[in-house]
Structures are given as structure tokens and as C-alpha cells.
Amino acid sequence: MSGLYIHIPFCSSKCAYCGFYSVPSMKRKGEFLDVLKHEIVSRRAYLQGEKVETVYFGGGTPSLLKVEELETILKNLHDHFEIDPEAEITLEANPDTLSLDYLVGLRSMGVNRLSIGIQSFFDNDLTYLSRRHDSRHARQCVGWAREAGFDNITIDLIYGLPTSDAEQWSRNLDCFFELGLPHLSAYALTLEPNSILTKQIDLGKTSPVNEEDAVRDYGILCQKMAQQGFQHYEISNFCKPGMHSRHNASYWFGTPYAGFGPSAHSYDGKSRQWNVSSLEQYVGNGERNPEGLTDRKGGKTENGKLFEKEILTLEQRYDEYVMLRLRTMWGIDLKYLKSAMGERFSEHCERQAQPLIAQGRLSQRQGILFLNDEQMLFADGIAEELFW
């Protein structure tokens, strides 16, 4: 079992809060598609013949590509990897790029899960975030997606916004429920280093972000989603039973995956590698070698390649397992730790967990360590206390 991720690094413009790698220009699209094609071919052995169960087009804004361009990428993936006929094929889309015709095209080329970046159903929030769509168009896109034949639809919302309050956030969630969708990803607004929003706040040009608002909104989120029968399966993700993102779940289960395109990460079970976060370097006269792509004309990463690689030690794999699984409803399985990594790791984890359990920050049931709903927002800090 394995997954494929394709990073499409283009956006129509840069949203103020964005921390993802993308460029606000399509100028190098042709070169990108050419190098991407080659990268897929050159790394066809990366997953060692493992069957692919999920394909994910992320970005950036994958829906800026034409249906035919996405179809060509998918065909190339089919030609070089063994993709299960029942594979989950997700595409991230922004409302300002969607039309009914486009969505019909996506559905017929094989995309079966759509992730729409709505972020809010209130226009004052959307203006603050410098999104390109309005709430009316966002709803229209969900209607078109259904008409085009998508039933596996998820949307993103952002909470903790200074333009919103508890009531507005609660109404935002009601708008989501009215649409009857099976999945929601909800993220706290974070100030990414060097984002436009961070700079604007530093200069006093826009409203600052208050962490307490995010904690308040998270409480509302957890409560309302549970009332509506959604499973809280990861800090930021909620689904109707059986409708979780199979692709994202595979990251939390340590499934191997290959990532293509600038800034894409890959994992083969023993090592991680990540492509350079630069379209310039990715396409810049890429020269092929058996290990991937190297750059001829400067712009090299430290080791002269277009990706960096790290072989993970057992201790690093333990830390990753703890960090990733603590964020999920599946929790840390002490029996798995013992069998896969050894007794010293399961014992260390259990020992470190005791004070956290006593403080009510962690629970243990049948050999599994979980975070309670309201503690999920603090998962990273709690995980650090369990690290090796």
C-alpha cells in the first residue's frame, strides 16, 4: 500500500496568510509540466512496486491546470505506478477557478474526491484572508461539484480570525452543515514567518491574531461537529463515518509515498526526502540522473541536487510516530511500539505518559494513548514530552 502526491506550485495570487510553496504566475507552467513528467518517470521505482491506493493533487492551486493537463499527469502516473482501480484520487481546488464544465471534466478524468478551499462563508473573513472568491460563489461551487457527480467533497475553513467572533464562527459551521458534506478540515489561523499577513500585522496595518480566539473557536468546533455525528479523527479533520481522507491517514500510518514537484516530500519507510521549494531550481535546466534531478545552471541546493534526503534513525522514527499518531483518534499503540521498535521505546513512552495522564492531558485505554478532544489543539507540545 502506498500513495502519490503531486505539488502544483501555481496560484492566481498569494493569499495573505499562506505558508505553502507556490508562485503567483503561470509563466513557467510548460517547463514545470515537462520536468514533472520526467521526475515521475525517473522515480518510478521509488515505491518498489507497492500498490498505490491514493493519489493527491495539492498545491498551490491544482485547479489552475486544465483538465487535459491533469489528465496527462494522471496517465503518466498510471503508466509508471500500479494504481489500484479503486484508488482515492483527490484534487485541491479554489472556488475562483471552478465552473460546472471544469468539474464535469475532473470527474470524468478520474478525480473522485474534491477538496475546496472555501475558508469562510463570510465575506469580511475572506477579505481579511485576501481570498479571491466570495461566499456566494463558494456555495455555488459545492452545488456544481454535486451536479458534476462528486459525492466525496471536503472543504477547508479557518478559525481564530480577528474579523470573526464566536457567533460568526458558529454560523460558519452551520453553513457547512447546511451543505450536507461528509468531511471538514478546519485550521487555526497561524502567522507563518514571512507571510504577507505577518508583515502587515508587524507594521500595524491590519488586525492582529489572538490565540485565545483560536482556543475558543476550537472548543465550538469540537462540540458542534460531535453533535452533528462527525468523527474527530485528526486535530483539524472531521468526517462522517468511513469518509476520512485515505491519503492523509496514510501519512499518520507511516505508509510509503512518493511526492513530485517543488517542495513535495517523499517517504519510503526508512528515509524522508523533500524536493527544493523553488520552481526556478526545479525547472532550471534540470538534468536527469538515476537519483532524480540535478541542476546544471546554479541555484543548487547544498548537495547540488534538487532534493534533500535524510535516513531516519529508530529514535527519529519513534518521535515521528508519537507526533503523528497523537494528533489522531487512533492514538499511540504501545503494543505496536514494542513489536515494531522494541521494548525500550514502549517503556519510555508509557513512563513519560504517566504524569500527563495524572494531569488529565492524556488518556490510556487498552494499551492506546489518546488525547482528549479539547487537548488535541496542544498535541505538538504534549508529543514533545513523550519524545525520545
Chain-centroid distance, C-alpha 293: 25
Closest CA to 328 of 369, 269, 273: 369
Tell me if 321 sits within 8 A of 75, measured CB to CB.
no
CB of 229 to ligand SF4, least distance (A): 29
**Cα distance between the two ends of the chain:** 28
CB of 20 to ligand SF4, least distance (A): 4
Q: Nearest approach, Cβ of 326 to ligand SF4 (angstroms)? A: 26
Nearer of residues 124 and 227 to ligand SF4, judged by Cβ: 124
State the nearest-atom distance from the C-beta of 59 to ligand SF4, in Å.
6
Among 6, 42, 60, 65, binds ligand SF4 (CB under 6 A): 60
Number of residues that bind ligand SF4 (CB under 6 A): 11
Long-range CB contact pairs, 290-298, < 8 A, 24+: 290/42, 292/39, 292/42, 292/43, 293/35, 293/38, 293/39, 293/42
Taking residues 337 to 356 in sequence order and writing x for each that binds ligand SF4 by CB under 6 A, - otherwise, the string is --------------------
Using CB under 6 A as the binding rule, whether residue 361 contacts ligand SF4 is answered as: no
| Binders in 101-130 for ligand SF4, by CB under 6 A | 117
Binding-site string for ligand SF4 from residue 19 to residue 48, where x marks contact by CB under 6 A and - marks none: -x-x--------------------------
Min dist. Cβ of residue 297 to ligand SF4 (A): 27
Alpha carbon distance 74, 85 (integer Å): 13
For ligand SF4, the binding residue among 28, 39, 54, 59 (CB under 6 A) is: 59
Residues with Cβ < 8 Å from 340, sequence gap 6 or more? none
CB of 117 to ligand SF4, least distance (A): 6
Q: Is 2 left (phi over 0), alpha (psi -120 to 50) or beta?
A: beta
18 is an interface residue for ligand SF4 by CB under 6 A: yes
Distance CA 383, CA 325 (A): 9
CA distance 6 to 35: 12
φ/ψ of residue 119, rounded to 5: 70, -40
Among 15, 188, 214, 279, binds ligand SF4 (CB under 6 A): 15
Distances (CA, A) of 3 to 46, 116, 256: 11, 21, 7
Q: Is 14 in the site for ligand SF4 (CB under 6 A)?
A: yes
Is 3 or 59 the residue whose CB approaches ligand SF4 more closely?
59
The total number of residues shown for the chain amounts to 388
Answer for which of 2, 42, 54, 61 binds ligand SF4 (CB under 6 A) is 61
Nearer to ligand SF4, 160 or 331 (CB): 160
Residue 262 interacts with ligand SF4 (CB under 6 A): yes or no: no
Buried b (16+ CB within 10 A) or exposed e, 195-212: bebbeebeeeebeebeee
* Span from 17-25, 39-47, 173-181, 282-290 in contact with ligand SF4 (CB under 6 A): 17-25
Q: Does 94 bind ligand SF4 (CB under 6 A)?
A: yes
The residues binding ligand SF4 (CB under 6 A) are 11, 14-15, 18, 20, 22, 59-61, 94, 117
